[in-house]
Amino acid sequence: WCRTERVARELSTRRGGSSGYAIIVESATHQTLLWAGLSMRDAPGEGEFTLDGDRVLIGRMVTQMVWSKLFYYLEHRQFHNYRFLLNAQSAQYFRSLDMEPIDGLVPGFHTEIDPSVDCKGFMLERFLHQNGLRNIFERDAAGWPPICFAAMSNNVVVLEALLDRKVDINQATTKPATEVNLPAKLTALGIACLLRNNEAVELLLCARAHVNYKDGFGGNALHIACAGDNPHAVRLLCHARANVNQQCMPGGSADLVSALLEARANANEQFRVHIREPGWWLLMNVMGVRHRVSPSRLTMLAYHHYDATPLMFSILSGSLDSVSSLLSARARVDIQNYRKNTASDLARQMLAPSWLIELCSTKGQQDKETLAESDTFFV
């Protein structure tokens, strides 16, 4: 039901109701601005239900909300948003629900193609009509080609028809979709991986789609499959020799912190930027000076950055999910940064939740006792 509440907000037709951010109240003094982009992978039907019969109720609600939102987009001439929702609805909202996605709202479809003679051609013509696209090579105003929309809807028949007509399988989007944090240069393969449309992934790989095509974040389809929580696509891409060493935009999740800790990264390493890294050095020092005049969360992080530990950065940035992982990995809270502040001191300054302040204080006392014991021996 929490996922359904999020969906209701996303599909709201009220002004500002579907913006990409929500405020999470962590405590009486700590709030977090949550970006809802990766909620694309959290379909309501895939949540845990106490009563399985609730799926039927949710399916009816989602159908009505999607229909209303599609009509709203058409009425306000937001044609790219209409295409995006029309093709993403199956994976984003209807997965694991016993309801069929909405076929489209554009009337007046006519074609001379006989579906009994050319089924693929007929389905392609219908796809273009419902998406308001005039031909198989036309991009919409947001820079998306038809093949990317077909991959988004997991429409294998339309994908086959496009490939039969020699459409470039590696056509990519030219503009980012900032409302859902999708980069530019996304190919059909990347989109299918993100939405777990694995039938489309298999077809595109069989047609020799470029597995290491760099998107706007510098990553490849393998990074996107991981972001979409799609292990099956990861296996398919690795089998197709995707580059597992290709770098992407770093950071962004507590899971990555846990993975680094499992790989034996130093949980207590202290951060130091030197002048030989002029970009970072200048940014941190300018923001640190600005903190004295116009303080903000960013300037506070810069002011306390030198000799800060990963735990301190997690507290300063509000990444509370990472704090638990670091403390479980024996991150020390008694270490001081250049400003002589510990993690507990920073938690108080940031008005962190009381449980975090208490946890840091308790852990600090335990660390002191452990150090005292390590300095004692018996004969």
27 band by pLDDT with thresholds 50, 70 and 90: low
Q: CA 308 to CA 219: how far, in whole Å?
A: 29
User: Per-residue pLDDT tens for 225-246?
Assistant: 988 889 999 999 999 999 988 8
pLDDT surpassing 70 at residue 218: yes
Residue 73: pLDDT band (50, 70, 90) is very high
Residue 252 banded pLDDT, cuts 50, 70, 90? low
Could you give the CA distance from residue 79 to residue 142 in angstroms, rounded to a whole number?
9
Q: Which two tokens stand for residue 185?
A: 């240069």
Domains along the chain with CATH numbers? 2-94 (no CATH), 119-239 (1.25.40.20), 254-371 (1.25.40)
Cβ contacts of 315 within 8 Å, gap of 6 or more: 323, 343, 346, 347, 350, 352, 356
Q: How confident is the model at residue 377 (pLDDT cuts 50, 70, 90)?
A: very low
* pLDDT > 60? residue 369: no
* Percent residues over pLDDT 70 in the chain: 87
pLDDT at position 374: 42
- How confident is residue 371, by pLDDT bands cut at 50, 70 and 90? very low
d(CA 254, CA 324): 9
pLDDT in tens, 187-213: 999 999 999 999 999 999 999 999 999
- Confidence class of residue 1 from pLDDT cuts 50, 70 and 90? low
Once rounded to an integer, what is the mean pLDDT over residues 49-74?
88
What pLDDT is recorded for position 172? 96
Cα 362 from chain centroid (whole Å)? 34
What average pLDDT does the structure give for the chain? 86
Predicted confidence band of residue 58 (pLDDT cuts 50, 70, 90): confident
Give one DSSP letter per residue of 144-183, joined into a string. Answer: --HHHHHHHTT-HHHHHHHHHTT--TT-B-SS-BGGGTBP
**Lowest-pLDDT range of 39-43, 49-53, 99-103:** 39-43
- DSSP H helical segments within 272-309, as ranges? 278-290, 297-303
Count Cβ atoms within 10 A of the Cβ of residue 179 and give its class: 0-12 exposed, 13-18 middle, 19 or more buried. Answer: middle
pLDDT digits (tens, 9 = 90+) for 268-313: 999 998 888 888 889 999 999 999 999 888 899 999 999 999 999 9
Average pLDDT over every residue of 4-13 = 81
